Amino acid sequence: MKILIAVLALLITGGDGEKKEVTLKGEVVDMHCYISRHNGGQGADHAGCANSCISRGVTPGFVSEDGKLYVLLNEKMTAVKDKIAGLAGQMVRITGFVIERDGVRAIELLRVEPAM
């Protein structure tokens, strides 16, 4: 198990201790509704609620095309909500650094743009 964790750490950091930049396509969600609602709390029908929640400080998340859920963090120790304002409920392309700790996946967000 320790070997597997070490290998995963090397893959995420690129093997040299530096973070590896990734670009993913998916949807910005608010974590509260996404996790607590049976209907998934995502998609165009939920965009208004998700954008409102995120603007009020609800933790934002990102669901990638492959279904993985990530907490969205800013690259600096400030709220990420200004970078993603109004983007919940639509497909976006994000660029940042994947971080995983104790089973929680997060992305330090560098850039976000609507997906084409």
Residues forming a β-bridge with 26: 64, 92
- Give residue-wise pLDDT tens across range 37-87: 766 788 999 999 999 999 999 999 999 999 999 999 998 889 999 999 999
pLDDT value at residue 9? 47
Residue 107: which of 80, 78, 85, 88 has the closest Cα?
80
Helix and strand totals (H; E) in the chain: 4, 5
pLDDT value at residue 38? 64
pLDDT value at residue 116? 73
- Give residue-wise pLDDT tens across range 8-49: 444 444 445 567 899 999 999 999 999 997 667 889 999 999
28 CB-near residues (< 8 Å, 6+ apart):
50, 54, 60, 61, 62, 72, 84, 87, 88, 89, 90, 92, 112
Q: Under CATH, what is the fold of the domain 19-114?
A: OB fold (Dihydrolipoamide Acetyltransferase, E2P) (2.40.50)
Q: Look up the pTM and report it.
A: 0.81
Give dist(CA 20, CA 94) in Å, integer: 14
pLDDT value at residue 13? 47
